[in-house]
Structure 1
Amino acid sequence: MNNVIDESGLLAISTRLQRLSDQLRKDGLKIYESHHIHFEPKWFPVMYTLHKKPVLSVVEIANEIGYTHPSTISLLKELEKKKLIRSKKDKQDDRKRLLQLSHEGKTLVQQMQPVWEIMVEALAQLTDTSNNLMKAIDEVEYQMKLQGFFQRAERIKEDKDKS
């Protein structure tokens, strides 16, 4: 039986994506815990990015993960407090902090890699549908880059006002 939100269709897309995201995060946490790994799924974007690109500035990390500067800083503070990342001054510009995984962070990533393989397999099963979720997300993100939700709504409002 569908609830009101499920029945509202596109109007509740943000709510439904949030609900899906929350469930994936909760299950992700359970998966890490079942492998005796203390890791918060919200840390993933920064940890994975620094695993792939070992030394980055705060701005570069924010750009890589697509978060705002304040949200990125909040995550970085948490990870520094947990001693999973460390920072150093940029030799060219001492106002700039460069971040990298700490020894503990690198060790944690090594422990997580086999778990990530399992997660990818499970997620592939979940998203391997006739409408392939990842492909759909890529398409919607591309459309948002061309023209955002707000801009489209404003254009529609203007068109309706003209008629």
Structure 2
Amino acid sequence: MYLESLGKLALGSRLKALSDHFYGAVDEVYQARGARIESRWMPVLRYLSDIGPSSVTEVADAIGQTHSAVSQLTDKLVRAGMVRRRRDPADGRRTVLTLTEKANSALAELGPLWCAVRRGVSASLGENAMRLLDMLAACEGVLKERPMAAAILAEHDAIMSTPLEIVPYEPALREHFYRLNAQWLERYFRIEDIDRAVLTDPERYILQPGGAIFFAHLGEDVIGTCALLQESPGVYELTKMGVDETFRGMGAGKRLLDAAIAEFHRRKGKTLFLESSSRLKPALGMYEKAGFHLQPNIRPDSHYERADVYMIYQPA
């Protein structure tokens, strides 16, 4: 499932999808058995039934929803004839919500259905039902102590304040050379045989022929890489440029490109070229700004099936 592949980034989306599934299942049951309420009404109606007349704020705090969401739901319940707004007899400045006879009558019919819901959830989810409830309770408790938005903002501040460092190749970084390139290759294309050979043994295919490899470090994270491959004396290919999708937008790609170009100049290279794909428009824009010029035809004897772009570095 796509959302599952996104991990923690899609936590809210997956929980919403799961919530919609539960709501939909119960609504299907309610409709099949002629119940006169909707599943999304249940928290408010049940709270007012158990606790009695309450303000929107009190209901929202009790069921863990925003004041705005409960207010909008209340509007629907008023239109459906399930809830009334009235002045609190004890405080005329305060408005409270109270159930109508229609709501009390509808709720009185639901005992057997709610029993069936409890049993059906257990039958469908098995022991996972209790695990889910326990985990929800644990998450709710933790979030009260450590609000998520504050934690995320603190982490973002830490990331943005960490210096980005460009470092040369060392054997301990070999796995990152493969990982970072495999990430974009598998997303947009496929890993070709030549890719697999170079990524698996960069010392043999890049360093020994006189090339160089660079990595972008952000603290302890290795977030990007690129290589300068010497094809023949003075002729170099900029290749195997990859930045971890999680850290895009931090300038790692440009820093790596600048490092490779600087190394090309340090070696007094004559020609620097690259092959790419027209599908990678952001990358092509970055190459163009750095001084690479698009050639009218693809490179003769290109090694890559995916390559339909050929660019040569021509600094101003």
Which TM-score applies when normalising by structure 1?
0.88
1:91, distance to aligned residue in structure 2 (A) = 2.1
Tell whether the 8 Å contact from 2:122 to 2:129 is kept in structure 1 after alignment. no
- For residues 135 and 50 of structure 1, the distance between their equivalents in structure 2, rounded to whole angstroms, comes to 25
Which protein is richer in strand relative to its size? 2
- The aligned counterpart of 2:7 is 9
The structure with the larger Rg is: 2
Q: Does 2:133 correspond to 1:134?
A: yes
Q: CA RMSD, aligned part only?
A: 1.9
Deviates more, 1:77-86 or 1:102-111: 77-86
Q: Is the 8 A contact 2:121 2:129 kept in 1?
A: no
Query: Aligned ranges for residues 83-102 of structure 1 at < 5 Å?
Result: 83-102=81-100
Q: Are positions 1:76 and 2:74 aligned together? A: yes
Structure 1: unaligned runs, 5 residues or longer: none
In 1, Cα distance between the equivalents of 2:26 and 2:100?
23
Deviation at 1:113, TM superposition (A): 1.8
- As a proportion of its length, which structure holds more helix? 1
3-state SS, counterpart of residue 96 of structure 1: strand
The residue identity in structure 1 corresponding to 2:38 is E
Q: Residue 69 of structure 1 aligns to which amino acid in structure 2?
A: H
How far 1:131 moved relative to its partner? Answer: 7.8
Quick one: which of 112, 115, 120 aligns to 1:114? 112
2:31 corresponding residue in structure 1: 33
Identity score, percent: 22
Count of matched residue positions in the alignment of Structure 1 and Structure 2? 161
AA matched with 2:12: S
Q: Distance in 1 between matches of 2:49 and 2:116?
A: 18
- TM-score, normalised to structure 2, is 0.48
The Cα of 1:104 is off from its aligned counterpart by 0.8
1:142 offset after TM fit, Å? 1.3
* Kept after mapping to 2: 8 A contact 1:50/1:100: yes
| Structure 2 counterpart of 1:47, from 42, 45, 58 | 45
1:156 CA displacement? 2.6
Q: Secondary structure at the match of 1:87?
A: strand
State the partner residue of 1:151. 150
Tell me how far apart the structure 2 counterparts of residues 43 and 52 of structure 1 sit (CA, whole Å). Answer: 14
**Which residue of the partner structure matches residue 55 of structure 2?**
57
- Which blocks of at least 5 consecutive residues in structure 2 are unaligned? 163-218, 220-316
